[in-house]
Amino acid sequence: MEDNKLAVGLDIGTTKIVAMIGRKNEYGKIEVVGIGKAKSLGVKRGVVSNITQTIHSIQQAVDEAESVSGIKIEEVVVGIAGQHIRSLHHSDYITRNNADEVIDEDDIEDLVNQVHKLVMLPGEEIIHVLPQEFKVDSQADIKEPIGMYGGRLEANFHVVVGQVSSIRNIGRCVKSANLGLSEITLEPLASASAVLSQEEKEAGVALIDIGGGTTDLAIFKDGIIRHTAVIPFGGNVITDDIKEGCSIIEKQAELLKIKFGSAWPGENKETEIVSIPGLRGREPKEITLKNLSKIIHARVQEIIEHVYLEIKNYGHETAKGKLIAGIVLTGGGSQLKHLRQLVEYITGMDARIGFPNEHLAGDSDEGLSSPSYATAVGLLMEGLEKDIKLEEIEEIVDEIITDANETEQRTEEIEPIVVEKPKPKKKSFFEKFTEGLKDFLDNAE
C-alpha cells in the first residue's frame, strides 16, 4: 500500500466546521497532517440554513487546513446529521429462483434493492440500508448467509432516512466551495468508528455525541448497528438558557459554561460567585455558581432523558438487547464537568467519555484527541478505508494477471488460460446515492 494516500474529513457542524487531512502511517494508525476550523454561521441544528455563509465557512476551514499541511484539498468525505434524520426497522425477503445454488452477493444486493423501493414520506430519501440478521428458509439469526443453500432469504434491516433537500444543500455547499464529494456518511456512524472499540460494539453500547445543535445517538449490539437517532438539541440550548437565566450576552454565557459550568448542582457552595463585566457603562453582574449549575443541570437532564427514552425504545431493558458496555459520551458537549456522573445517575448505566485517540498516531497533537473532533476523525477514517478497499481490489486483479502470465509462459502447449478479472466490489447503495447526488449537482444550473 502506498504511503501517501491522503483523505479529508469535513465535519459541517452547528458551531464549527472542521476540515481534517490525514493518512495512515506504517502501523496503520492515522497521522493528521493538517486541520482547519472555522466558526459555523449558516447551520442550525445540523441543517444548512444559509448557503452563502456555510460555503464561506467551509472555504475558511479548508484554506486553514491547506496552509498548515501545504496540501491542496480536492475531495472530501462529508458527514450528515440534523433533525430530519430518522431511522426505522423493516423486514423483507426474496424468493430465489434456484434453491440449489448457494446464496451470493447478488442475492443480498437484490434484497437490499428491494428495501430501497420502500415508499417514504414526500421529500424523504433512504440514506443507509444496514442489514442486521438474516434468515434462510426457517433458520434464523444468521450473520453471514453467503455460501449457504436456501430458497427464501429474509433479513431485518435498519433503515436510515433523511430529507432530500437537506442532503442536496450540503452537496451544493461543498461543490460551491470548489471541492469534490467522495462520500457522505451519517455522523453518528463516523463518531462511532472513531471512539468505540470492537469489544464494546459486541457487548452492546450506546454512543451519545453531544454536539452544538444536535445530539446524535448510535446503538450497537453483537457488532451490528441497531438504532440511530438525531435529537434536535445540544450544547447550544444550554448556552441559551444561561444567557436568558442570567441576562448576559451569548459570548459570556458560552465562556461561563466552559469555565465554571457543572451538570451537578450539589457540587457548588452558595458563596462561590463569579463577576461578569456589564455592557458599556453598566454595573458588573454577579452570578452564583450554584445557580449556574442549576440552569445547566435542568437542561442537560432533559437532553439525557430524551436519549435514554430512545435507548429504552430500542429495547435496552430486554434480556436480549441489554447494553453491557453502557454509554460512551463524545462530542464537544461531553466535556461538561460532572456530566458522566449525571448520566450514570439518570440511566443507571456505566458511562465513559470517548476520545478519538485510539486510531490516531502516538505523536499526534494533544488537541486532536478532544471529543469535539470525534466526528472529523471518523470521517477521515471513512475516507482512508474506502481507498484501501479500492487498492486491495486492484492488487488482487494485478496478482491474478501476473500469475496467469507466468502460467501461460510455463505451459506453451496447453490451451491458454482465460483470465477473468474478479468482479470489483459492488457499489454500496450509498456510493450510488453519492454519485447520483454528484450528477444532480453537476446538472443543476
* Euclidean distance between CA atoms 160 and 132, whole angstroms: 13
* Euclidean distance between CA atoms 206 and 217, whole angstroms: 7
SS3 for 141-160 is EECCCCCCECCEEEEEEEEE
SS3 355: coil
* Euclidean distance between CA atoms 39 and 56, whole angstroms: 10
SS3 318: coil
Name the fold adopted by 198-356. Answer: Nucleotidyltransferase; domain 5 (3.30.420)
* Euclidean distance between CA atoms 272 and 200, whole angstroms: 40
* Euclidean distance between CA atoms 309 and 334, whole angstroms: 19
Which residue is listed with cell 433523511?
A: 162
pLDDT tens digits along 13-23: 888 999 999 99
pLDDT value, residue 319: 80
Backbone φ and ψ for 159, nearest 5 degrees, come out as -110, 125
* Euclidean distance between CA atoms 82 and 127, whole angstroms: 13
Q: How far is CA 104 from CA 147, 149, 378, 428, in A?
A: 6, 10, 30, 15
Backbone φ and ψ for 20, nearest 5 degrees, come out as -125, 120
286: which 3 cell numbers?
Answer: 454577579
Q: In which residue ranges of the chain is CATH 3.30.420.40 found? A: 198-356
* Euclidean distance between CA atoms 267 and 273, whole angstroms: 13
pLDDT value, residue 50: 92
Name the fold adopted by 86-164. Answer: Dna Ligase; domain 1 (3.30.1490)
Q: Which amino acid is at 379?
A: L
- 3-state DSSP: the chain helix, strand, coil percent, rounded to 5? 40, 30, 30
pLDDT value, residue 28: 84
Across the 445 residues of the chain, what is the mean pLDDT of every consecutive 10-residue run? 74 92 88 92 87 94 92 90 85 89 90 89 87 89 89 91 90 92 88 93 94 91 89 91 91 91 80 85 87 92 93 84 93 92 94 90 82 93 77 62 58 49 53 66 62
* Euclidean distance between CA atoms 79 and 305, whole angstroms: 25
pLDDT tens digits along 76-124: 999 888 778 888 889 999 998 888 888 989 899 999 999 988 888 888 9
Cα radius of gyration (the chain)? 25
* Euclidean distance between CA atoms 185 and 358, whole angstroms: 20
Q: In which residue ranges of the chain is CATH 3.30.1490.110 found? A: 86-164
Nearest to 438 by CA among 47, 11, 75, 188: 75
pLDDT value, residue 205: 95
pTM of the model: 0.82
Nearest to 207 by CA among 81, 291, 97: 81
294: which 3 cell numbers?
Answer: 442549576
Which residue is listed with cell 444567557?
A: 243
* Euclidean distance between CA atoms 207 and 216, whole angstroms: 8
DSSP structure string for 78-104: EEE-STT-EEEEEEEEEE-S-TTSBP-
